[in-house]
Amino acid sequence: MSIDARKIRLIMQLRRSGVTDTAVLAVIERLPRELFVPRSFLDQAYEDMALPIGSGQTISQPLVVAMMTQALELHDRLKVLEIGTGSGYQAAVLSRLVRRVYTIERHRALLHEAEARFTQLGFHNITTRAGDGTKGWPEQAPFDRILVTAAADGDIPKTLTDQLALGGIMIVPLGNDRRDQRVYRVRRTETGLQREELWPVRFVPLLPEPVAVPVARARSS
């Protein structure tokens, strides 16, 4: 089966599974996911499954990427913080839908690979940092949207909700047991934070260990 045929099959699967945002579907259809997976998994790039990318991390299942992106309620004037760059695939999806993406990864090797992909694809509205994602990026706060791509143990980190703008939305998985994790949508309103449970999911844990020295790399247009 050709790559185009596999993409079409994947998009149809996503539609049947509840992804209705046509902008999100269009980005996923256009973005070459095969560039974000290890060479040994190229034949599975358009299967609806998570795949290992090294350092104990995975590239998320396309359905999870699509549903979490859709839940953020995006438009092209937003500034978004992503916690957990991984392969860079989720950040790449976000970058096609919003004004600017800030993304943090604690594994330098993964971050360097993701940065190379962003450069290859000509994506200039993504700013990266190696460091502790649980601390967020206070120098660039507040953010209109925050997406956490690892499961927080216990409650939502206050360091992250403090960086969410008024009217902003955060999507975050919660749960220290991978068999019992849930995705939550958090909105900051004038009266405080509103939390809504969305669906069950499985993510790697959100870990606080920092990389030695945080480094930011901005991409200018």
Q: What is the DSSP string of 171-185?
A: EEEE-SSTTSEEEEE
Determine how β-strand 126-130 pairs with β-strand 181-189.
unpaired
Q: Which pair of structure tokens corresponds to residue 1?
A: 């089966």
Q: Write the CA distances from 154 to 64, 191, 200, 207, integer angstroms.
A: 21, 23, 15, 12
Query: How many whole angstroms separate alpha carbon 146 and alpha carbon 159?
Result: 12
Please, where are the H alpha helices in 77-163? 89-95, 108-121, 158-161
Give me the catalytic one of 17, 40, 55, 60.
60
Question: Is 221 one of the catalytic residues?
Answer: no
Task: Residue 18: count other Cβ atoms within 10 Å of its Cβ.
Answer: 11
Give the residue numbers annotated as catalytic, written as ranges. Answer: 60
